[in-house]
Amino acid sequence: MLCVLALSANTSFVGFPRLCRTVAEDGFLPRPFAIAGRRLVFSVGILYLAACSGSLLLIFDGITDHLIPLFAIGAFLTFTLSQTGMAVHWRRMIRDKEAKGRHAKDQTHFWINAVGATTTGLALVIIIVAKTEGAWITLLAIPCAIALLKVIRHYYDELESQVREGRPLELSGGTQPPIVLVSVERWSKLAAKAIGLALTLSPDVIGLHLTHLQGPDCEEDHRAMRMRWEKNVAEPARRAGSLRRG
C-alpha cells in the first residue's frame, strides 16, 4: 500500500503542476501557475498540491486508509471521462466516414472505449454508494472546482475586454516634464552623475537626503551635505537656470 501511495504521489507531483500550467494558459487558473520557478518546475502548482495534501492528512488524522475512497473516486471518475471522450471521438469519426461513403474501420475502437466507460462508470457508482466515508469531499470539491475555474476565466475575460481596445493618444493638453527625485546619501561622483542624468530628463529635479536612515547621530552629516549641495549643485544650477528646485 505504501508503494502504491508513493507512486501515486510521485505521479501527482509530476503531472499536476503541468496540468495546472496548461489550464492557466487557457485562463482558468491564475497566471502564476504557468510560470516556471528557479528549478524550472512550476513551483506554484507544487506548493498548492503540497498544501492540499497536507490539509487532507490533517483532516483525516494521518490515516491514509480513509483517503482511499477519495483516490478511488478521483481515479475512476477520470477513467470514465477519458473513456467517454474517446468513445465520442470514435463515434464522430465513424459518422464522418460514413457520410463520405467510406467504410468505417473504427467500430472496434468505439466499442472498446464504450465498454470501458460503462465499466468504470458502474464501478464509480458502486464506490460512491458503498464507501461513503470521505466520499462527500470529492463529490463536493469537483463542482466547487469547476465553478471556481469558471469564475477565474470570467475575471480574465472581463480584464481582457477592458484593456483590449486602446484609445488614441491624447496630446491636446500638452505634455509637462516629469518631476525627478534623486536620493543622495553623500556627495560623490555617483551622486553627480545621477543629478546630471536627472537634468537631461527634466528641469524639475528634487534632491532627497534620507537622514532618518542613518540613525540619530546624523545631524553633522546632514549639515555637511547641505553645504556640499549648495556649493556643488544649487549654485551651478542657479547660474545655468536648469534647476528649479533643489
Per-residue three-class SS string for the chain: CHHHHHHHHHHHHHHHHHHHHHHHHCCCCCHHHHCCCCCCCCHHHHHHHHHHHHHHHHHCCCCHHHHHHHHHHHHHHHHHHHHHHHHHHHHHHHHHHHHCCCCCCCHHHHHHHHHHHHHHHHHHHHHHHHCCCCHHHHHHHHHHHHHHHHHHHHHHHHHHHHHCCCCCCCCCCCCCCCCEEEECCCCCHHHHHHHHHHHHHCCCEEEECCHHHHCCCCHHHHHHHHHHHHHHHHHHHHHHCCCCCC
Mean pLDDT, rounded, of the chain:
81
Q: Which residues of the chain have pLDDT under 70?
A: 1-2, 4-5, 8, 101-104, 131-136, 165-166, 169, 171-174, 211-219, 241-246
| pTM for this entry | 0.57
Q: Give the pLDDT of residue 245.
A: 47
pLDDT in tens, 96-136: 877 776 666 778 888 999 999 999 999 888 887 776 566 66
Q: Give the pLDDT of residue 217.
A: 60
Checking 151-157 for CB contacts under 8 A at 24+ apart, the result is: 152/27, 152/28, 152/29, 152/30, 153/26, 153/27, 153/28, 156/27, 157/27
Q: Give the pLDDT of residue 246.
A: 41
Question: 73 and 124 in contact (C-beta within 8 Å)?
Answer: yes
Q: Give the pLDDT of residue 76.
A: 86
